[in-house]
Structure 1
Amino acid sequence: MSHTLCIETIRVENREFKHLDYHEARLNKTRKELWGFTDYWNLSEMIILPDCIENELHKCRIAYGKEIDNIKWEPYAPRAIRKIRKVYDDTIDYTYKYNDRDELNTLFAQREDADEVLIIKDGMVTDSFYCNVAFFDGAKWFTPSTYLLPGTQRAFLLDSGVVEERDISENEILTYHKIRLFNAMVGWENAATLEVGLIG
Structure 2
Amino acid sequence: MSRTVCLLAFTTTMVCFPLAASAASGAEPISATSINAARLDAIPASYEPAPNNVDPIATGSIGASATSAQVATLVRKSEAEVPSAAVAKLQVLLDRAGASPGVIDGLDGANFRNAVSAFEAMKRLPEDAKIGPQVIAAIDGVNQVIGSYVIEAQDIAVVVGPIPKDYARMAEMKYLGYATVTEGLAERFHMGEDLLKA
Answer 1 or 2: which has greater helix percent: 2
Provide TM-score, normalisation by structure 1.
Answer: 0.28
Structure number with higher relative contact order (C-alpha < 8 Å, ≥ 6 residues apart): 2
Q: Which has the higher strand share?
A: 1
How does the TM-score come out when normalised to structure 2? Answer: 0.29
